[in-house]
Amino acid sequence: MADGKVSDFTQFREGVVDNNPVLVQLLGMCPALAVSNTLENAIVMGGAATFVVVMSNLVTSLLRHQIKPHVRILIFTLTISTFVTIADLFLRAHLFDVSRKLGPFVPLIIVNCMIISRAEVVAIRNGLKRSLADAFGIGVGFTLALSVVGVIREILGSGTLLNYPVTPAAFEPHLWIIMVLPPGAFLTLGVIIGIVNYVRQRDRKGGAA
Amino acid sequence: MKKFVEESWLVLVMGIGFALLLAGTQAALQGRIHENQREATRQAIAEVLPGVATTEQREVEGYQVYEGFDDQGRLLGWVIEGSGTGFVDRITLVVGLDVDKTRITGVKVTSNVETPGLGNKIEDAAWIGQFEGLDAERRVDITMAAPDRDDNKVQAITGATLSSVYTADIVNAILDTVRPKLEAP
């Protein structure tokens, strides 16, 4: 995946589609399940994680010749936790209401293996351009996956989208209360991953449906 | 020692660099973060004690108490902030009390992580509004049936009886502990 032949754009697209962190790699599942009950939460969470993965890949790639192999995990963790803290402070200062809803899940980006895996797999052995393309791809892919889950859960569970009512009056969101609760996250994500896998397998067989 | 420095200088340098970066970010943003929290408190006070113009903050029995004054400087009542155990985690709320300390002017939940869609309805005006106008000299009770205002009762949220009971418990604890100690300044 990280060999010299693929273009930076391919690296970006990999993260969004073929190697989507949530839907294909099944990484970053904790925030994908926990804060995808509304689209707003999903977008803000995706934005924060994108910022962190970009900064982490940036620092790792710039320092890749200085980092001694056996202290690399320590350095990744140090970098990631610094930028997660900055993202958390920024949200508390500028998006106070959303940051209260996200609660501990922004600080928990620190332990999101999706981010450390990009440092370990890509940034430590690639130049700046490639590492940034990869980080943006992963960030966008993560945000899109969370948003898809968020749209489905918010419409069915609350009858709203970005807090605006979107369903007809006859629709009773409280019958779908499970979509707001944790099981709704598992059901939605499970169905989406199932669809993604079905499509991928079909494509691999040469498009014969 | 030489080997130690050779192997770890980058970690040390990055540690110091990142610490400075964090300190700078914290210093730049903390004013705004505190302002956000104060603004949230101000809004909650204005909601539970309508007409309040200025407040005076003090501590009574470990609770934060805000004396509320109207724009003429007359005492309107008190707003007391308190927290207690909820169904999931702690619930924080403010209780408004009129100047005679006999009537609840309003209750607002300022922080909770109760179950979304069930327990977190305690923050909805439709539910918490039931506390408005209740007798502050008696216990507030939770009932399953249609509420009887004369009995100082509030109807529980369907599917979230415990969140409802815990919220009323916090209100009762505040009234029991703080109300007798309040005196017009």
Give the model's confidence band at B30: pLDDT under 50 very low, under 70 low, under 90 confident, else very high: very high
How far B74 CA sits from the closest chain A CA (Å)?
Answer: 33
Chain A residue closest in CA terms to B27 = A89
Structure confidence by residue, pLDDT tens digits, B19-28: 999 999 999 9
Phi-psi group of A134: left, alpha or beta (phi > 0 → left; psi -120 to 50 → alpha; rest → beta): alpha
pLDDT value at residue B18 = 96
Query: Which residues from A are below 8 Å from B when comparing CB atoms?
Result: 37, 63, 66-68, 70-71, 74-75, 78-79, 82, 85-86, 89-90, 92-94, 96, 100, 103, 157-158, 174, 177, 180-181
pLDDT value at residue B8 = 86
B122 close to B135: Cβ distance less than 8 angstroms:
no
Q: Given a cut of 60, is residue A27 above it in pLDDT? A: yes
Q: Which residue has the higher pLDDT, B7 or B65?
A: B65
Nearest Cβ partner for A86 among B25, B116, B117: B25
Mean pLDDT of A80-103: 92
Q: Given a cut of 50, is residue A209 above it in pLDDT? A: no
With an 8 Å Cβ cutoff, are B117 and A74 in contact? no
Going from N- to C-terminal start, the domains of chain A cover 8-204
With an 8 Å Cβ cutoff, are A66 and B14 in contact? no
pLDDT value at residue A5 = 63
- Which of B33, B43, B110, B123 is the best mutation test for A, with the most CBs of A within 10 A? B33
Give the model's confidence band at A166: pLDDT under 50 very low, under 70 low, under 90 confident, else very high: confident
Assigned token pair, B139: 């216990």
Structure confidence by residue, pLDDT tens digits, B58-85: 898 889 999 999 999 899 999 999 999 9
Which residues of chain B are within 8 Å of residue A158 when distances are taken between CB atoms?
117
Give the model's confidence band at B164: pLDDT under 50 very low, under 70 low, under 90 confident, else very high: very high
Provide the residue type at A34 as one letter. A
Report in angstroms the alpha-carbon separations of A163 from A160, A166, B50, B156.
Answer: 5, 9, 27, 26
* Gap between the Cα atoms of B15 and B31, Å rounded: 25
Which three-class secondary structure state does DSSP give residue A146? helix
The residues near A141 (Cβ < 8 Å, ≥ 6 apart) are A15, A16, A17, A19, A20, A21, A22, A23
Minimal CA–CA distance to A135: which of A54, A26, A45? A54
B57 close to B79: Cβ distance less than 8 angstroms:
no
B132 close to B106: Cβ distance less than 8 angstroms:
yes
Q: Interhelix angle for A39-62 vs A128-158, to 10°?
A: 170
With an 8 Å Cβ cutoff, are A68 and B7 in contact? yes
With an 8 Å Cβ cutoff, are B22 and A86 in contact? yes
Q: Given a cut of 60, is residue A62 above it in pLDDT? A: yes
Which three-class secondary structure state does DSSP give residue A21? coil
How far A155 CA sits from the closest chain B CA (Å)?
Answer: 13
Mean pLDDT of A164-171: 79
With an 8 Å Cβ cutoff, are A89 and B7 in contact? no
- Residue B109's beta-bridge partner residues? B93
Pairing of strands B91-98, B75-84: antiparallel
Report in angstroms the alpha-carbon separations of A89 from A41, A50, B28, B42, B170.
Answer: 16, 16, 10, 22, 30
> Which stretches of chain B are DSSP H helices?
2-48, 125-128, 161-178
Which residues of chain A are within 8 Å of residue B21 when distances are taken between CB atoms?
82, 86
Q: Given a cut of 70, is residue A208 above it in pLDDT? A: no
With an 8 Å Cβ cutoff, are B22 and A82 in contact? yes
How far A177 CA sits from the closest chain B CA (Å)?
Answer: 6
